[in-house]
């Protein structure tokens, strides 16, 4: 988010729409080398479609405009053949559901090796198989030499997610996208997987885009954060800044509803009134207007971005005044 | 940060499920007998199945002729054994044709552009709407009745079923996260089809193949019974059934021997299909 000189990922004015519905509008995102950025928001706010756009995996029936640059390469409008060369080598992804992210009919070792053989980052099958064992060892899986011959159903969810992580890191990507990588896991395994993620990214000096709705995880893992609602980024900045002094009312509500801000008197969380509208049902002007307790007539107009262009800032007509949340 | 040296949970159970459902065992046994009969017939039969013996016509089962003889004095058991050959041959070729054409069509229909999927679907409807028997009668009217015509007709009639089963299975697989993951690794569409889609629909195809095999046996018998399939000089279960017709009240044995053979073979392949489905489908595993 900060003013990075030579960013790994630079998304500018990314707008995605189906024939009738706008899914994403004017999304800006910058991630520098070794930087970890959290993308937070409720379900349906456009987090996952953003990650798919960066991977070039958008479904056929949507149109994307704007710019997604990975290093020096513009990804929007790039033919599939070229995108395939980037995917898995320069940018890799860890998915939410480890139970379904592995092919049930392929041995673990083959799946890890495949990632390297596609991009010829290992000279031979044997070399890729050896490297697969190393990678599985690096994600602390027990007995990797035997594990390469196992099938996914023989592993637990946490173990599978570590295999997925090993696959994602196999080609030392410059950018790792994690789409709610710990949501489906037991709490006890979550921390281990998070630690492995951070360590894997740090070792490679890779950038990370961490998509989640768990604010505590973002506070734990990321340095920068972007808050998404209704297909727009409503607030962005350093985690410390945004979580301690949220300016946008949605961020404020989100924090109040998270376990980072348990009311010390009642021990209860404050929920945001209402629920996320379906795609295309967001109000004109400020997208959060329909659920905001501070909304006025002024909010019928779209709030401008306050702060650094493409950098830290917020889009709200009635921002919170640097108040520290209780 | 948690202790990174902590072992990652219990070591996975690498032994796997080794149990086999009863239907699978019975199915295997029955189909095994049919295949075995066919194989043995190449090296040994009790008598020459074409040997006409006027002295021993229409004999009942005896030590000499285990299943008796037909109206020409030919040994019934020998004819059943050689007939098994025809049955297995027709099944393999017909189902092979259906699989070789139907499965790629199904995968193409699932992975290709939308219009191609629609085209495959509609063409399949067209073939399905046309009775298989009528197709076979048409083909043998044009090219003459032979085992080959029967096999091709049965094979063609089976293509849409395989295309459809494969397509619906492939559509499910294509929606899965591991295909998305494979795409996110940069794997090309043909590679995804071969390495991810095909292995994951193969259980569906195997099950469908065993059922189709049973149907092919029945269809071949029906066609031979109608005189459109295997020529008279080659023993075939369907033809034996047909020849028994005029002697139904004199020697009913001549009807029920090939009839029982057909029924058991069909039952065997159906049970095999059921058993394979139970064994291969992980979702059904829990219920056993």
Q: What is the bridge-based pairing of β-strands A175-179 and A91-94?
A: parallel
Burial (CB count <10 Å: 0-12, 13-18, 19+), residue A33: middle
pLDDT band at B15 (very low <50, low <70, confident <90, very high): low
Q: Which of A83, A90, A81 is nearest to A64 (CA)?
A: A83
Shortest CA gap B273–chain A (Å): 20
Strands laid side by side in the A73-74 sheet: A22-31, A9-17, A63-70, A73-74
pLDDT, position A171: 92
**Cβ-nearest to A195 among B4, B178, B185:** B4
Beta-carbon contacts below 8 Å between A and B: 112
Lowest mean per-residue pLDDT among A54-63, A270-279, B179-188, B260-269: A270-279
pLDDT value of residue B239: 84
Give A176's pLDDT tier (boundaries 50, 70, 90): very high
CATH fold, domain B79-285, is MetI-like fold (1.10.3720)
Percent of chain A with pLDDT over 90: 46
Nearest CA distance, B181 vs chain A (angstrom): 6
| Residue A316 C-beta-side C-alpha neighbours within 13 Å | 26
Query: For the ranges A281-285, A318-322, B163-167, which has the lowest average pLDDT?
Result: A318-322
pLDDT tens digit sequence for A68-112: 999 888 998 888 888 888 898 999 999 888 888 899 889 999 999
Overall pTM > 0.90: no
Number of C-beta neighbours around residue A308 at 10 A: 13
Q: Does A326 score more than 60 pLDDT?
A: no
pLDDT score of B6: 42
* Cross-chain Cβ contact B181/A154 below 8 Å: no
Angstrom distance (rounded) from CA B264 to CA B35: 12
Sorting pLDDT into bands at 50, 70 and 90, what band is A273?
Answer: confident
Bridge partners, A224 (sequence order): A37, A238
3-state secondary structure at position A204: helix
Task: Determine whether the interchain pair B1/A195 forms a contact, defined as Cβ–Cβ distance below 8 Å.
Answer: yes
Q: What is the pLDDT of residue B234?
A: 82
* Residue in B closest to A141 by C-alpha: B8
User: A167 to chain B, minimum CA–CA distance in Å?
Assistant: 8
In angstroms, the separation between the Cα of residue B117 and the nearest Cα of chain A is 15
What digits encode the pLDDT tens for the residues B110-162? 998 889 989 988 988 888 888 878 888 888 888 887 888 888 989 999 999 99
Q: CA of B178 to nearest chain A CA: how many angstroms apart? A: 4
- B183/A87 touch (CB, cutoff 8 Å), yes or no: yes
Q: 3-class SS at A123?
A: coil
Interface check for A58 against chain B (CB to CB < 8 A): the answer is no
Q: What is residue B114's predicted lDDT score, i.e. its pLDDT?
A: 86
B159 is written with which tokens?
A: 């293509």
| SS3 state at A13 | strand
Closest partner CB to B2 (pick from A118, A159, A195): A195
| pLDDT reading at A26 higher than 50 | yes
Backbone angles phi, psi at A152, to 5 degrees: -55, -35
For B22-46, what is the mean pLDDT? 90
CB-nearest to B187 from A118, A142, A147 is A118
Q: Measured in whole angstroms, how far is the alpha carbon of residue B236 from the centre of its chain?
A: 17
pLDDT value, residue B224: 83
Q: Which residues, other chains included, contact B93 with Cβ-Cβ below 8 Å and sequence gap of 6+?
A: B151, B155
pLDDT tens track for A131-169: 999 999 999 999 999 999 999 988 988 899 999 999 999
**pLDDT computed for residue A270 by the predictor:** 76
Question: DSSP assignment, residue A139?
Answer: T
DSSP annotation string for chain B: ---TTS--SSPP--S------HHHHHHHHHHHHHHHHHHHHHH--SS-TT---GGGTT--S-SSSTT-B-TT--BHHHHHHHHHHHHHHHHHHHHHHHHHHHHHHHHHHHHS-HHHHHHHHHHHHHHHHS-HHHHHHHHHHHH-S-HHHHHHHHHHHHHHHHHHHHHHHHHHHHTSHHHHHHHHTT--HHHHIIIIIHHHHHHHHHHHHHHHHHHHHHHHHHHHHTTSSS-TTS--HHHHHHHTGGGTTT-THHHHHHHHHHHHHHHHHHHHHHHHHHHH-HHHHTT-
Q: What's the confidence (pLDDT) of residue B8?
A: 47
Provide the ipTM: 0.76
Take residue B87 and report the two structure tokens written for it: 């049955």
Residue-averaged pLDDT of chain B:
84
Could you read off the pLDDT of B68-120 as tens digits, one per residue?
888 888 888 999 999 999 888 988 999 999 999 999 999 999 998 889 989 98
Which residues between 200 and 259 in chain A have a beta carbon less than 8 angstroms from any beta carbon of chain B? none
Q: Is the pLDDT of residue A226 over 80?
A: yes
- Closest by CA to A311, choosing from A220, A209, A226, A240, is A226
Strand-strand pairing, A9-17 and A63-70: antiparallel
Query: How is chain A split into domains, by residue range?
Result: 101-172
Pick from B106, B105, B212: which is nearest to B155 by CA?
B212
> Which A positions 116-175 lie with beta carbon below 8 A of chain B?
118-119, 139-143, 146-147, 149-151, 153-156, 158-159, 162, 164, 167
pLDDT value at residue A223: 93
B181 vs A167: CB contact, 8 Å cut-off? yes
**CA-to-CA distance for B17 and A24, rounded, in angstroms?**
46
Give pLDDT tens digits for B197-229: 999 898 889 889 988 988 888 888 888 888 787
pLDDT tens digit sequence for A228-257: 998 999 999 999 999 988 999 999 888 888
Q: Do B178 and A101 touch (CB under 8 A)?
A: yes
- Flag if A102 and B186 touch (Cβ within 8 Å): no
Residue A281 gets which letter from DSSP?
A: -
SS3 for A158-181, per residue?
HHHHHHHHHHHHCCCCCEEEEECC
């Amino acid at each position: 988010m900060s003013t990075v000189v030579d960013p790994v990922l630079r998304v500018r004015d990314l707008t995605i729409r189906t024939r009738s519905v706008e899914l994403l509008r004017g999304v800006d995102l910058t991630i520098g080398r070794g930087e970890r950025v959290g993308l937070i928001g409720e379900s349906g706010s456009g987090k996952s479609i953003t990650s798919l756009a960066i991977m070039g995996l958008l479904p056929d029936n949507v149109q994307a405009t704007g710019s997604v640059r990975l290093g020096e390469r513009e990804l929007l409008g790039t033919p599939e053949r070229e995108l395939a060369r980037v995917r898995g080598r320069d940018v890799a992804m860890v998915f939410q559901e480890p139970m379904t992210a592995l092919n049930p009919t392929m041995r673990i070792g083959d799946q890890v090796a495949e990632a390297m053989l596609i991009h010829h980052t290992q000279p031979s099958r044997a070399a890729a198989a050896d490297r697969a064992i190393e990678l599985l060892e690096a994600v602390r899986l027990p007995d990797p030499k035997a594990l390469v011959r196992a099938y996914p159903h023989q592993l637990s969810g946490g173990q599978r997610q570590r295999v997925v992580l090993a696959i994602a890191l196999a080609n030392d990507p410059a950018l790792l996208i994690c789409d709610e990588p710990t949501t489906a896991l037991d709490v006890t395994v979550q921390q281990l997987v998070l630690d492995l993620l951070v360590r894997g990214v740090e070792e490679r000096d890779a950038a990370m885009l961490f998509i989640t709705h768990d604010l505590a995880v973002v506070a734990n893992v990321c340095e920068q954060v972007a808050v998404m609602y209704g297909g727009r980024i409503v607030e962005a900045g350093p985690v410390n800044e945004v979580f301690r002094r949220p300016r946008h009312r949605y961020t404020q509500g989100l924090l109040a509803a998270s376990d980072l801000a348990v009311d010390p008197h009642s021990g209860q969380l404050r929920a945001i009134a209402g629920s996320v509208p379906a795609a295309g049902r967001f109000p004109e002007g400020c997208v959060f207007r329909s659920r905001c307790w501070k909304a006025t007539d002024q909010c019928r107009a779209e709030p401008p971005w306050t702060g650094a262009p493409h950098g830290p800032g917020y889009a709200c007509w009635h921002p919170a005044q640097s108040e520290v949340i209780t | 940060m948690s202790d990174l040296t902590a072992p990652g949970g219990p070591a996975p159970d690498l032994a796997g499920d080794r149990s086999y459902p009863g239907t699978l065992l019975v199915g295997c046994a029955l189909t095994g007998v049919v295949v075995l009969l066919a194989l043995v017939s190449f090296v040994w039969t009790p008598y020459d199945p074409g040997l006409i013996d006027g002295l021993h016509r229409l004999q009942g089962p005896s030590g000499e002729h285990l299943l008796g003889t037909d109206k020409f004095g030919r040994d019934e058991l020998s004819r059943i054994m050689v007939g098994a050959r025809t049955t297995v041959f027709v099944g393999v070729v017909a189902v092979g044709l259906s699989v070789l054409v139907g499965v790629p069509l199904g995968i193409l229909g699932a992975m290709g552009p939308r219009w191609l999927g629609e085209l495959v679907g509609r063409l399949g409807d067209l073939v399905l709407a046309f009775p298989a028997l009528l197709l076979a009668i048409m083909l043998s009217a044009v090219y003459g009745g032979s085992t080959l015509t029967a096999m091709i007709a049965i094979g063609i009639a089976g293509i849409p079923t395989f295309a459809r089963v494969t397509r619906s299975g492939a559509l499910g697989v294509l929606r899965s996260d591991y295909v998305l993951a494979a795409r996110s690794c940069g794997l090309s569409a043909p590679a995804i089809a071969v390495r991810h889609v095909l292995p994951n629909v193969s259980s569906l195809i195997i099950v469908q193949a065993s059922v189709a095999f049973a149907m092919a046996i029945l269809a071949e018998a029906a066609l031979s019974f109608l005189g459109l399939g295997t020529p008279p000089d080659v023993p075939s279960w369907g033809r034996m059934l047909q020849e028994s017709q005029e002697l139904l009240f004199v020697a009913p044995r001549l009807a029920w021997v090939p009839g029982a053979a057909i029924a058991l073979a069909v039952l065997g392949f159906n049970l095999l299909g059921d058993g394979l489905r139970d064994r291969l489908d992980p979702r059904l595993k829990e219920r056993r």
